[in-house]
Amino acid sequence: MSASWQLLDHTADLGMDVKASSLEELFACAGKAIFELMAELDAVEIRVSRELAVEGSDLADLWVNFLREALYLWSGESLLIKEVQIRQLSETALQATLSGEPYDASRHVLNMEIKAATYHQAEVVRTPEGWKGRVIFDV
């Protein structure tokens, strides 16, 4: 199964379900999906990379913390991320490389802003096909 994501109907917020064969693929797909929702990534080039080291008390906590750190690259550094590589992953920690470039209003089209990943309905579960994650965003 290739990794995929879909939007969920959620009052006043935006929900997303992510499915993937592996846990690494699940986290990578979710990290990239945030930026696919926020901007048209076709024009984004790989010019800079950021290393993230994230911890959580369990998989759901790690999931939300990782997505929050990814969102910080936008809100804190105005980076649009096109590639996400999970280098190490356990139930309580991950190391990842996120690559893209700074936002340039003359080349990049923004679709929406995602303010935060929330713990509401956050989950990461094993399924017969692989893994599924759910997150609700404040928009």
Locate the domains of the chain by residue range. Answer: 14-138
How is 76-101 classified by DSSP, letter by letter? TT-EEEEEEEEEEE-SSEEEEEEEEE
Going residue by residue through the chain (139 aa), what tens digit of pLDDT does each one get?
Answer: 789 988 877 666 899 999 999 999 999 999 999 999 999 999 999 999 999 999 999 999 999 999 999 999 999 999 999 999 999 999 999 999 999 999 999 999 999 999 999 999 999 999 999 999 999 999 8
Task: Please state which CATH class domain 14-138 belongs to.
Answer: alpha beta
| 3-class DSSP assignment, residue 46 | coil
> SS3 for 15?
strand
